[in-house]
Structure 1
Amino acid sequence: MTVSSVLNGKTGQASEETRAKVLKTVEELGYHPNGVARGLARRRMDTIGIVASFSDRPSLTHDRYFGPVFDGLLVGAQRHHQRALIITEDHWDDLPGNISRYLDGHCDGLIFVTPTFPNKVLAPILKAKLPIIFLGENRPELAVSVIDMDNEAVGKLATSKLIALGHRRIAYLGGDADLRSSFERQAGYTTALQQAGISLTSELSVLGHYSEASGYRETQRLLETLPAAQHPTAFFCGDDAIAIGALTALQERGGRVPEEFSLIGVNDDEIGRKSTPALTTIQQPLRALGEHAIEMLLEQIQDKKCSLQRVLLPGEWIERGTVAAPPLPERRV
């Protein structure tokens, strides 16, 4: 018991002479306490599991979304003296077959980054009462804590800015249909139009993918299939990559941005900062999402009766060179 109290830093249970002898012996033997054994005894491993899917991404750390989020997660874990165990799946479809490794006792809690698996997959983890945070995927129907950007507010903000400039035919080019953020930003777009008394035109609101190719393809499709008089004068794009694709499509057809068409993206990616003209966007608080997720999970770990939280952080409006009032009279391309 005396040796244990010295190794665990407890004071008052051994004299200074005894303490010195124990520490000297430990040094001579090269002894290091078994962290796993100590963790089991304390019922705390001081380890947070961070779960993500590659989903055909060449890199997570260099990804424009996951990179800053992981920075925040790792900084937050370090700040609170926690180990971070990164667990990756090739695809979320692989998760059901690997549930056992999430419940093997190595982690005190889990943070799932933009999970797209069905709700039923989570049942064994919820049954085990392991603390869980969903980062980047807002699922109100699940009994889990969530942190994300307020995507609906972002959609409403971007669309309202365009309406205030005088635009009435505003297109929404959204991201992937399996991500809640696509629908939430679309909901904000719809709300802004309705509150301004502008009729929603279904063909101007489309989902695709969070990619340049999708933005390019959907913009070309709108301009080719709609009569010139019905072309949008502004595009709210659910992502900077989509906006850059739209910008390329417009410029290839001779369209001038922002003189004839306005564009707004989401993220504040480097590609948008370097585009010509520079892209107006709403910056996601990606690093802050990671840092806050760690704090939220630790609250649950430390207090099993802690109430579930749903934290939605605001985006930051960054105006650059792709927004202006619509042309009068409007020139269509």
Structure 2
Amino acid sequence: MSDLLTVENLGKTFTSRRFLSLRPDYQVTALRDVSFTVAKGETVGVVGESGCGKSTLARCVLDLIAPTTGAVRFDGTDLTTLASAEKRAMRGRIQMVFQDPYSSLNSKRSIGRTLAEPLYVHKGIRYRDALPRVREVLGEVGMPASAVDKYPHEFSGGQRQRIAIARALILEPDLIIADEAVSALDVSVQAQVLLLMRRIQQERGLSYLFITHDLGVLRNFCDRVLVMYLGRVVESGPVGDLLERPRHPYTRSLRDAAPVPDVSKRRALALLEGEIPSPANPPSGCPFHPRCPRATAICSQEAPVLADIEDTGRRVACHNPEE
């Protein structure tokens, strides 16, 4: 499979300015040297605790916020160097599904108007001419054609997320970024939406960058996974192998904390000690070392490099990886 998306050494630093204060401004590094690829037709998952930089990564890839360093190449084109008109044209091929379908849909617009707007912005198609395409894509996500005249409050959470997916599909993109797209839904509805997204992927050859905190969803929906901690990728690889044999202590702690339905297969829970460090004042060396049970002297002095392990597509950034 050829790579559709290539992210190289991506970094994002936010500067917090203190208003009417003698104290100096300070910087928060949300992403640091993040690199990965997404192949055509592949689903790459991104997992980590809240505040690890998952959503910032999604917004940098889509260029909703400009990265501080690095490059984002989509189908061979560096998105960070494009002019505004070129970026708009390219954004039609990359779409996003947000976590909360109610807040991401305009409550004052009908569903038909909401779904037709991308066609007008990107292709200049008027509402009346766009209606056949709107009804077609609504049918594709399992919604009736009569939904075009209704408003978001008239639908359930699962139906609203289907409509949000329809909006992402209306321009026939090649890549969809799903930022916690099923976390706000009931478990049964989650399964329905995930099956829908999988079917659409198979029919259209779509690629997904799938952000989640649910390892069960990750295991059943993704092909590869990136594990992030404090703005860095600490481990990556094929999802099945990575969850069965985690090499980074942080990945193991995430895996062991996930609920296991089969009592006979439950693992002893190794609780992490301490709190997540502040991104405004990260620890020296490895950012995980203050909470790591395998930390040694070098961990507090030198940041580990994300390096290949074995010949399985696995990578880990750890001085003392698990065996």
TM-score when normalising by structure 2:
0.23
The higher relative CO (CA closer than 8 Å, separation ≥ 6) is in: 2
Larger Cα Rg: Structure 1 or Structure 2? 1
| Higher normalized strand content (fraction of residues) | 2
- Which of the pair is proportionally richer in helix? 1
